[in-house]
Structure 1
Amino acid sequence: MKVSETTTNSKLDIIEKTSRSRVCGYLKAKGRTIVNGANEEVLLIGWGLGNWFLNEGYMWNSFENIRFDRPRRIERVVEELTGKVYKEHFFKEFRSNYITEAEIRDMAELGYNSVRIPIHWRLLMEEDEEIIFKETGFQMIDQCLDWCEKYSLYAFIDMHGAPGGQTGANIDDSIDDVPRLFTDEHSYKQCIELWKEIARRYKDRYIVGGYDLLNEPIRPGSAQVASYDHLLPRLIQFYEDVIHEIRKIDDKHMFSIEGHHWSTTTEIFDRVYDANMVIHFHRYGCNPDYQAYKAFVELSMKMNLPLWLGETGENILEWFSAMYPLALDLNIGLNIWPAKKMEGINSLYSIKEPAGWRKILSYLEGGMHPGYQEARAIFDELLQNIKYENCIQNKHVTDAVLRRSGARVMGIDFDEFPGRGHSYFSHLHHENEHPHRSNTGMRLIPRTRKDPAKIGFYNQWDFNALVLQRGEFACYTFTGNQSEKEWQVSIRGLEEGELIVYENDGAIQKIQFSKSSDYQVFVLPSLKQDATFLRLKIEVLSGEAAVDWVQLKDVMRKGK
């Protein structure tokens, strides 16, 4: 299938479909789209509330330490450091303050229309032979749903940690990295009973966008980790069984179905599990171009079902600016992970590391115990730091997600649509050494950069620049606002020449460039101050130039 054969949204379509005014009534799959109770199309855009129900060590600045990588181990370490009584106090306060009405309100004000609530079975059920539910965990869900209803955000209930573990990794809090949900009958029964209880409680709440039945089931095997692919038939059986049981109680809510291997494969989607379902997939660390979506777009067309990029993120913001507008263009909703974490430069909310936190991390590596009193003081500070009002508000992250003023876009991440001759043009179809944007045929050359620190899925796709010769061009579309703005463009002359820059088809300025080994930043005025969308076009008139990046920025005047 060619890219040109896919169905795409206009930029105005995206504004309408992501509007919170469309958060009304139960969501439903209708062909390859999702519609609300008024039969209006909805395009999901939001964040995952990671580390709230189910803690992950890296969100506490503990990277790759197995002593502190999942809830049961984190709880054990907190008890070792502070005592059992304090541990109980700490986690009660942590869950009361990590996600509050303030975060939900802020996400709505930023322009998002949905959240994903990653639940952990141990907060909702007793670890016992009997099926006994815990009201405290359900009260957390109830309260969050009330906030979501108040501020018009759909909430997806995500089984992130299923009984026994569905993944076989830290992210499901499994006891031994075995996906025991599929091997142990009791765990299988517990999970189905839990979903039946969720359906009983929330079947009449439209604000629940859908039931995300299992997060990232059955991880891939490797030289270090056993493969459990032989359990795929059991995964398929689970989906069929749990859907059958839920539909006896709830015939309204949409199902979100994820494939195996970190929700990246299409293999299990050989059937329609339910008429009201969305195909849910994840993308991390890939090149942010059409190839990241191609297999699932083709699957969507084949199965006539909608798509949801239900988890993604953990990259530099230029990756966000390339990856997420393209998803929305393709009518793929998205949910970014996670909304909040410690020192989170690519999350909405960044928690400040407490003074003395390095003593906690040192203890994890075999260092000395800091003493109960000091450890409790450090965790007390963390309880203060996690509060919304004490977090750093990373508004620039949303600028990148929505590609609006403030975002920076790499030269190689020019518009995909409407396609060749409109969004970009090259005289020849180039076969580059790097595969990024290979479907476009545009020429890329290497561009060395420094690797960013603590970005787990950064893959150096941006170690390239776009080359344009006479008569070739590339376009970059941003969302505008009412403020005074300017363009900044980083260009290097490969051969002496001239280019012209257009904004929404109106010429802004010609730029002469000389052959150089360095990139130069040119600052250009934005002339369309009231435009909803701003489309920058760079066309080379003579010579040859490399485009490194493009940025739209608000102009800050003195005295304002």
Structure 2
Amino acid sequence: MNIIFRLITLAGILAIFTNCNNSKKEHTQPSQFKWETYRGVNVACDISEKDVKDLAASGANLMRFSTAVCTYMEMEAPFAYKESAFQKLDSVLNWGEQYGVAVLIDPHRYPGSEHKWTMLGSDPFFKDFKYHDILINFWKKLANQCAKRGDVVAGYDLLNEPEIPVDMEKNTPQDINLLYKKLTKAIREVDSMHTIVYALPRIYNEETKVMQGYHKGIEVLEIPDDNNICLETHTYIPVPFTHQNIWEEGDYVAYPTKIDGILWDKAQLEKEQKELIAFSEKHPNIPVFVGEFSSPRWTGQDGMRFLTDVIDIAEKHNWSWAYHAFRENQVWDPEMNITNRNDSTRIANAPRWELLKSYFKKNAK
């Protein structure tokens, strides 16, 4: 009897000890999920589990999940949330977790922004604080939903391609720094763990009709007071090459090429980003992310050279990047023919996809 009692007691003690240890393991987690080095792609609303599985097999470690056509809320009053969109996000996060591909959450479009794919300085969003309040409440909801999702959440991509005037007025709805501060505060009230990604704005001069690209936005951005951030830029320069013949037919623009007396090649691409490069070298603890870059797939070997140059510049300066876009639109689809616009058949060894996969291999190191 005494032997049995002793065995039971010993088993109980071991069970308590084991449970305590397990409890400690369950509560052990990093204080923050910091931004990693990412090489990936942009994806859209219709992404499937098979797409994520295929993406993981390619070696990509990031998908920037953009939801311009399946927004998280209605674009008109009363701006009701669409639970189906939040459920899709949960599915994408689950797939990302299962296959080892992190997800950068990019809502892409909000009430007050009139264009599906970009934000314009003329949008009501930049003229009325009510749209900022809508956005603040939305990010509180989304961050609260994702706060405990772990490192599958690469970060929160607050705005897509914001545009501000060269004479941006402080403390007005066009004050992007004020908006970023408000959004940061709102998110950190519910999630102190995940990276916040701030899109650099493009800057428009109404008098000269000159638009400066996102890289130049570093000169007006006030870096938020937060220790887990990332800065985002997009590389669509020169636009006559990167956006040719998408909406209407025109003359073919090569790459490298001369436009208005400027030779656009790798050296010029890097020169155009000199302000951001200088900032990045001065602040190596603040990661930079090239969130979008591409050219129409039918730009052939010129497009291949352009993609190579953009990626090589990013790699040189230790920037993460995401190609635009994977199985989202046949204009950019890397798994398709690189010369024939009318051939939208996906092929396993498409040149553009092979090029991207050659860089994805670096994720395994």
TM-score, length of structure 2 as denominator length: 0.67
Q: What is the CA-CA distance between 1:201 and the residue it aligns to?
A: 0.6
1:313 pairs with 2:294: yes
8 Å CA contact retained: 2:72, 2:107: no
SS of equivalent to 1:161: coil
Larger relative contact order (C-alpha < 8 A, sep ≥ 6)?
A: 2
Percent pairwise identity: 22
AA at the equivalent of 2:353: T
- In structure 2, the CA distance between the partners of 1:232 and 1:280, relative to structure 1 (3 Å rule), is farther
Q: Which amino acid aligns with 2:61?
A: N
8 Å contact kept, 1:283–1:292: no
Matching residue's letter, 1:210? G
User: Which one-letter code corresponds to 2:99 in the other structure?
Assistant: Y
Map of 2:97 onto structure 1: 149
Distance 1:343 1:132, change over 3 A: closer
Structure 2 match to 1:57? none
Q: 2:117 aligns with which of 150, 171, 195?
A: 171
* 1:191-226, Cα deviation, whole Å (9 max, x unpaired): 111111111111111211000110111167xxxxxx
Say whether the 8 Å CA contact 1:350–1:394 is kept in structure 2: no
2:6 aligned residue: none
1:239 aligns with 2:180: yes
State the alpha-carbon separation in 2 of the partners of residues 326 and 172 from structure 1: 24
Two-structure CA RMSD over aligned residues (Å): 3.3
Q: Does the aligned pair in 1 maintain the 2:336–2:350 contact within 8 Å? A: no
Instruction: Pick one of 82, 85, 88 that aligns with 1:137.
Output: 85
Aligned residue type for 1:276: N
Other-structure match for 1:248: 189
> Which 5+ residue runs of structure 1 have no aligned equivalent?
1-23, 35-41, 54-97, 221-226, 352-357, 359-384, 405-478, 481-531, 533-560
Following TM superposition, by how much is the alpha carbon of 1:228 offset from its aligned partner in structure 2, in angstroms?
8.1
Residue of structure 1 equivalent to 2:356: 401
Alignment check: 8 A CA contact 1:341 1:350 kept: no
| Aligned counterpart for 1:110 among listed residues 58, 61, 69 | 58
When residues 403 and 121 of structure 1 are mapped into structure 2, their CA distance, relative to the original with a 3 A threshold, is: closer
SS of 2:41 mapped into structure 1: strand
Pair 1:347-2:304 in alignment: no
1:283 CA drift (Å): 1.1
Partner-residue secondary structure (3-state), 2:88: helix
Work out whether 1:288 is the aligned partner of 2:240. no
Determine which structure has the larger helix proportion and give its number.
2
SS, match of residue 107 in structure 2: strand
Q: What amino acid is aligned across from residue 219 of structure 2 in structure 1?
A: E
- Return 290-299 or 327-336, whichever deviates more: 290-299
Counterpart of 1:326, as a letter, is I
**Residue type matched to 2:289 in 1?**
W
Contact 1:218 1:229 (8 Å CA) reproduced:
no
TM score, norm. by length of structure 1? 0.45
Q: Does 1:278 align with 2:226?
A: no
Which of 42, 45, 49 is the equivalent residue of 1:48? 42
Cα 1:147/1:348, change in 2 over 3 Å: farther
How far apart, in 2, do the equivalents of 1:27 and 1:403 lie? 31
Output one character per residue of 1:38-57: Cα deviation in whole Å (capped at 9) or x when no partner.
Answer: xxxx31000011xx34xxxx
Bigger Rg, structure 1 or 2:
1
After superposing the two structures, state which structure 1 stretch, 177-186 or 244-253, moved more: 177-186
Aligned to 2:247: none
**Corresponding residue to 1:299 among 262, 269, 279:** 279
- 1:181 paired with 2:125, answer yes
Retained in 2: the 8 A contact 1:277–1:305?
yes
| Maintained 8 Å contact 1:161/1:171 | yes
- How far, CA to CA, are the matches of 1:210 and 1:145 in structure 2? 12
Q: Distance in 2 between matches of 1:394 and 1:193?
A: 45
Within 5 Å, which residues of 2 pair with 1:205-224? 205-206=149-150, 207-218=152-163
Unaligned runs of 5+ residues in structure 2 are 1-28, 203-212, 239-264, 297-302
Alignment-derived partner of residue 200 in structure 2: 259
Counterpart Cα distance in 1 of 2:190 and 2:119: 28
Task: Provide closer, same or farther for how the CA distance between residues 293 and 393 of structure 1 changes in structure 2, counting only shifts above 3 A.
Answer: farther
Counterpart in the other structure of 2:243: none
The 3-state SS of whatever aligns with 1:211 is: strand
1:325–1:402: 8 Å Cα contact kept in structure 2?
A: no
Residues 45 and 334 in structure 1, CA contact (< 8 A), matched pair in contact too: yes
1:117-128 equivalent positions in 2, closer than 5 A: 117-120=65-68, 123-127=71-75
**Number of aligned positions between the proteins:** 281
1:273 offset after TM fit, Å?
A: 3.8
The CA deviation at 1:402 is: 5.2
Matched, 1:191 2:135: yes
> 1:229 and 1:269, CA in 2 relative to 1: closer, same or farther beyond 3 A?
closer
